[in-house]
Amino acid sequence: MSPDTMKIDRFELDAGMIERARAAARAITGSMQQHIDAHTTTAVERTVCRLLGINGVDEAGVPLPNVVVDAVADKGKLGQGVAYWLGSACLEHGITLDEAVLDLAIGKLDITACPRPKEEVEKALYPIAASAIERIIENKQKREALIKKLGLGQTPWLYVIVATGNIYEDMVQAKAAARQGADIIAVIRSTGQSLLDYVPYGATTEGFGGTYATQENFRLMRAALDEVGEEIGKYVRLVNYSSGLCMPEIAALGAMERLDLMLSDSMYGILFRDINMERTFVDQFFSRRILALGGLIINTGEDNYLTTDDAYESAHTVIASQFINEQFALAAGLSPWQIGLGHAFQMNPYMEDGLLNEIAQAQLIRQLFPEYPIKFMPPTKYMTGNIFFGHLLNAMFNFVSVLTGQSIHLLGMLTEAIHTPYLQDRHLSIENAKYIMNNARHLADEVVYAKDGRIEKRARAVLEKAVDLLDYIRSRGLMEALEEGTFAAVKRPRKGGKGYDGVVEKSPDYYNPFETLLPRRAPAGGDVTCW
């Protein structure tokens, strides 16, 4: 064992078991890929619009991507892809894309009226699509340059949320947090945004439990963080949520405005927002291909399972889901350093030896996914109005994180059960993490877990149960397993949930210029291709 792998390989695990888990997950996601490749959704098509530069709102305030996609959908012609019709209309009338959208918005133009040969359309749209790809790649390079210049904080990176509802107030708080030592800032979205089937427009100042995700808000916050980053000499990263009914649109906006991380889970929307599963699997794939290109890190949402399920009893469902999310992520062309699998510190604090179980779980995940920037979520479920006690749960969470070498560390707030964070709450939480992580900085190098002890045994038991569950899902099918309530103790019908009407079968002449421009792993399961 080299000194480096020693830090990670703390447990003696059965390599065959791990391979079985990956094989099962590969099979599970592989069979889903057929469904994914055969469908598009209203969200994917709106994303195509956005990437093609369609922006703004109509007179009624409806975002133009929605106007365009709805127009095509109303005609029942979304199966060809919105790009196909936009391209056709431009060619037909000899107008620009902008002109076409404008005319459509004022009801002057039916873009689905005059289909043109696909090759012509492709030729017309390619330069526009390519320049969108260009912009995303430039952002990625800009980020790399800034990181090179300013550097990043030490891991575990401290991740805090701002959630005042007002982007300008958020900027104040985000800058303060960065000065206090935060490495990553997430602007939590307003309650309910994930169920909006459009992305709001412009700078917003009224959200509830969060601030709307809009392109302008992204831009404003990015600028604020760049500014404070220069001041403190650190590249401060920005996060948002590529979840909900606009999953791929937000991914695109994030890639265009140089966000650095995105919450992006293959199943979160299904389980926690009752979004239709057929839709979600299609959306997540397209989203992640964009994120892959943009060099964003994704954060998966397994931590959420433990808010409704028990963290001790259902620890294995987190692991099983991580294997699935991993395979979906690889399929979408994400590199290992982009795959921030999520988990959480959610065991009952009154459990004897609970800390041992948390260490087992965190270390197991670290060891199963050694190259990934694992995201560790704080205790929330057992947080109460007793802020003093809550501060302690967060302390032990911080301790486990530094002890097990987690990467992305979402800070718990002592007021979790009360309100979205106040300025002082965030300060106290950052102080908490900085104290404990610094004070225990190299403890991980100095402790070895007893062979066949409580911790190692627990890790092995969880892994075994996860593998069994994956084998079961493989035999049942993922959609069927979700119908049965395999994850988070939540059951969802395949054809139910929100957004199902936005799922459209691709027609054979479906056209989407980004299909070929975005990375994905060769369907055979080989290397990532950027065709």
Ligand X SMILES: Cc1ncc(COP(=O)(O)O)c(C=O)c1O
- For 180, 200, 205, 303, 324, the CA distances from 293, given in Å and listed in that order, are 32, 24, 31, 26, 21
Q: Judged by CB under 6 A, which of 139, 284, 304, 357 binds ligand X?
A: 304
Nearer to a second copy, 15 or 447 (CB): 447
Name the one range near ligand X by CB under 6 A: 189-197, 248-256, 352-360, 501-509: 189-197
Residues that are catalytic: 268, 303, 375
Q: Judged by CB under 8 A, which of 75, 441, 491, 495 binds a second copy?
A: 441
Q: What angle do CA 201, 211, 311 make, to 5 degrees?
A: 130
Binds 241: which of a second copy, ligand X, other proteins, none (CB < 5-8 Å by kind) = ligand X
Q: Judged by CB under 8 A, which of 5, 34, 384, 439 binds a second copy?
A: 439
Query: HSE-up of 301 (CA within 13 Å, CB side)?
Result: 23
Q: Which amino acid is at 16?
A: G
User: Can you give the C-alpha Rg of the chain in angstroms?
Assistant: 23
Distance CA(476)–CA(231), nearest Å, equals 54
The answer to whether the Cα torsion of 109, 110, 115, 120 is positive or negative is positive
Closest CA to 306 of 314, 296, 298: 314
- Residue written as tokens 């958020």? 170
Binds 244: which of ligand X, other proteins, ligand B12, none (CB < 5-8 Å by kind) = ligand X
Distance CA(302)–CA(267), nearest Å, equals 9
Q: Does residue 272 touch ligand B12 according to CB under 6 A?
A: yes
Please report, as residue ranges, which positions from 371 to 430 form the binding site for a second copy (by CB under 8 A): 388-389, 391-393, 395-396, 399, 414, 428
Nearer to other proteins, 168 or 201 (CB): 168
Binds 119: which of a second copy, ligand X, other proteins, none (CB < 5-8 Å by kind) = none
Which contiguous run of DSSP H or E holds residue 126? helix 118-150
Is the bond leading into 156 cis (omega within 30 degrees of zero)? yes
Q: Judged by CB under 8 A, which of 442, 524, 527, 531 binds a second copy?
A: 442
- For 7, 17, 310, 341, 467, the CA distances from 23, given in Å and listed in that order, are 26, 10, 27, 18, 10
CB 419 within 8 A of CB 406: no
Least CB distance from residue 283 to ligand X, whole Å? 12
Binds 268: which of other proteins, ligand B12, ligand X, none (CB < 5-8 Å by kind) = ligand X
Interface residues toward other proteins, by CB under 8 A = 163-166, 169, 172-173, 175-176, 179-180, 191-192, 195, 208-209, 272-274, 307-308, 384-388, 417-424, 427
Which contiguous run of DSSP H or E holds residue 21? helix 15-38
Least CB distance from residue 404 to other proteins, whole Å? 28
Q: Which residues bind ligand X (CB under 6 A)?
A: 189, 193-194, 241, 243-244, 263, 265, 268, 301, 304
Q: Which residues bind ligand B12 (CB under 6 A)?
A: 188-189, 191-192, 209-210, 272, 304, 307-308, 380-381, 383, 416-420
Q: Which residues bind a second copy (CB under 8 A)?
A: 349-356, 359, 388-389, 391-393, 395-396, 399, 414, 428, 431-432, 435-436, 438-443, 445-450, 453-455
